[in-house]
Amino acid sequence: MVNVKQNVSLKDYSTMRLGGNANYLIEVGSRQDLEESAQLAQKNNLPIIMIGAGSNVIWKDEGFAGIVLINKILGFRAFEEDETNVFVTVGAGENWDSVVAKTVQMNLTGIESLSLIPGSTGATVVQNVGAYGQEISQTLINVEVFDLQDFKFKIIPVSNCQLAYRSSIFKTNPKNPYLISAITLNLSKSSPDKTKIYPAVTDYLNQNNISEVTPENIRRAVIDIRSSKLPDPAVIPNNGSFFTNPTISYSQFFSLQKSLNQAIPHWKIDTENVKVAAAWLIEYSGLKDFHDQNTGFATWKTQPLVIINESGTSTANLIKFRDFIVDTVYKKTGIRLTQEPQILP
Ligand SMILES: Cc1cc2nc3c(=O)[nH]c(=O)nc-3n(C[C@H](O)[C@H](O)[C@H](O)COP(=O)(O)OP(=O)(O)OC[C@H]3O[C@@H](n4cnc5c(N)ncnc54)[C@H](O)[C@@H]3O)c2cc1C
């Protein structure tokens, strides 16, 4: 029997520490719990939202008149090894960074650059997490889900997940019926490809006289770089990057560089489009380390993409602060930023 808590504050289930109450909350520790919770919701005609650690969600002030499911399904199984590949199936509720640590200890390559990303394993596919040149899409094989349409567990192959930059079928479909219970990754026994190491990681390895490119050395580099740049959500409430890097056409990009008379950091996507650094746009607009006493929110001193909650007490005020940033950047650069974390429900 699942343990149903009533009238629970959702502030404790978002690293931004905002939001009203959930009518009901259940910690789901097994596939059986998941099925039982779904049946309970159906029987009582209640909506469901499943989350992991709440590091990419912000709850509305009015809370949620339904059942919040916290995924705590554990498990780590390595199988079907051959000379170069190891497949691992991981429970959606496993802490992601512990999974990365474990695979790095096994000297496996594939997710070492995704070290220290907060949250659960299941959520990594929801927005196709990425950092320092790696994305979960590069190693994901499939996702095990419980389908709320027919109450069956299913395996969705990566080709059907529509993974894209900070996006997937699990994020874009407003009627997403899938509760993720596990994911399977294909990791490699080969060393990381030196030509694909992210420039900041290469700089770190050079500065620290580390010549061997191993998953462990990359993990250590990424942890050090991230720790020096990003606030720890356990200490300072935040959701990591609050905005995605906008994609614009090369012609828009060149005319913007010309009109601002600035070299804008960017990454080539294809022959027609580039991604520009949202952090640069915010800093250029004068909003780095910007503190707003009225709302209680600020941008982080070393990474302006991160909004921190200094003394904010409502999601309505966070939205005001967000809109101020979006409007200011738009007035200064003509580019409208898009929010990364999800506001629920
Ligand atoms: C300091 C900081 C740094 C960050 N850095 C990065 C980064 O470098 N790259 C990056 O991509 N992200 C980053 N993030 C964002 C965040 O850590 C990731 O998106 C992470 O995968 C979210 O995991 P979570 O368990 O906290 O998900 P939650 O916030 O709990 O949920 C996120 C979304 O996924 C859905 N969801 C979660 N679990 C399930 C499930 N089992 N089944 C169905 N739906 C589910 C939720 O409904 C919600 O829509 C950062 C966040 C912070 C606070």
Question: pLDDT tens-digit profile of 55-110?
Answer: 999 999 999 999 999 999 999 999 988 999 999 999 999 999 999 999 999 999 99
Question: Taking 90 as the threshold, does the pLDDT of residue 119 lie above it?
Answer: yes
Of the residues 21, 41, 71, the one at which a domain ends: 71
- Whole-number Å distance, alpha carbon 117 to ligand 1 midpoint, is 8
pLDDT digits (tens, 9 = 90+) for 296-337: 999 999 999 999 999 999 999 999 999 999 999 999 999 999
For ligand 1, is residue 73 a contact (CB within 6 Å)? no
Q: Which domain holds residue 36?
A: 4-71
Q: Are residues 63 and 95 in the same domain?
A: no
For ligand 1, is residue 121 a contact (CB within 6 Å)? no
For ligand 1, is residue 143 a contact (CB within 6 Å)? no
- The pLDDT mean for the chain works out to 97
pLDDT band at 173 (very low <50, low <70, confident <90, very high): confident
Of the residues 229, 252, 268, the one at which a domain ends: 229
Residue ranges in the chain assigned as alpha helix (H): 31-43, 96-105, 123-126, 169-172, 199-207, 215-229, 250-260, 278-284, 315-333
Closest residue by Cα to atom 4, ligand 1, is 240
pLDDT band at 174 (very low <50, low <70, confident <90, very high): confident
Question: Which atom of ligand 1 approaches the CA of 132 most closely?
Answer: 8
For ligand 1, is residue 53 a contact (CB within 6 Å)? yes
Q: Are residues 92 and 220 in the same domain?
A: yes
Share of the chain above pLDDT 90, in %: 97
State the Cα–Cα distance between residues 256 and 155, nearest whole angstrom.
45
Global confidence as pTM: 0.97
Question: Taking 90 as the threshold, does the pLDDT of residue 268 lie above it?
Answer: yes
Task: Give the model's pLDDT for residue 188.
Answer: 97
For ligand 1, is residue 129 a contact (CB within 6 Å)? yes
Q: Are residues 280 and 305 in the same domain?
A: yes
Share of the chain above pLDDT 70, in %: 100
Residue 278 backbone phi and psi in degrees, to 5: -60, -35
Q: Are residues 155 and 208 in the same domain?
A: yes
Q: Are residues 173 and 256 in the same domain?
A: no
Q: Are residues 112 and 172 in the same domain?
A: yes
To test the pocket of ligand 1, the residue of 111, 126, 148, 244 to mutate (highest count of ligand atoms within 8 Å of its CB) is 126
- Whole-number Å distance, alpha carbon 124 to ligand 1 midpoint, is 6
Q: Are residues 147 and 225 in the same domain?
A: yes
pLDDT band at 29 (very low <50, low <70, confident <90, very high): very high
Closest residue by Cα to atom 18, ligand 1, is 56
Q: Are residues 67 and 80 in the same domain?
A: no
Q: Are residues 253 and 186 in the same domain?
A: no
For ligand 1, is residue 309 a contact (CB within 6 Å)? no
Closest residue by Cα to atom 24, ligand 1, is 119
Phi-psi region of 306 (alpha: psi -120 to 50; beta: other; left: phi over 0): beta
Of the residues 23, 52, 71, the one at which a domain ends: 71
Task: Give the model's pLDDT for residue 80.
Answer: 81
Say if CB 37 and CB 103 are below 8 A apart.
no
State the Cα–Cα distance between residues 83 and 131, nearest whole angstrom.
28
Tokens found for residue 121: 């394993």
For ligand 1, is residue 237 a contact (CB within 6 Å)? no
- Indicate which residues carry an active-site annotation: 166, 241, 340
For ligand 1, is residue 117 a contact (CB within 6 Å)? yes
Annotate 171-182 with b (16+ C-beta within 10 A) or e (fewer).
beeeeeebbbbb
Count of CB atoms within 10 A of residue 278's CB? 23
DSSP state of 246: P
Q: Are residues 84 and 217 in the same domain?
A: yes
The position carrying tokens 């966070």 is 318
* 131 strand-pairing partners: 134
Count structural domains, the chain: 3
Closest residue by Cα to atom 19, ligand 1, is 56
Q: Are residues 204 and 110 in the same domain?
A: yes
- Whole-number Å distance, alpha carbon 53 to ligand 1 midpoint, is 7
CATH code for the domain in which residue 88 is found = 3.30.465.10
pLDDT digits (tens, 9 = 90+) for 43-56: 999 999 999 999 99
CATH code for the domain in which residue 318 is found = 3.90.78.10
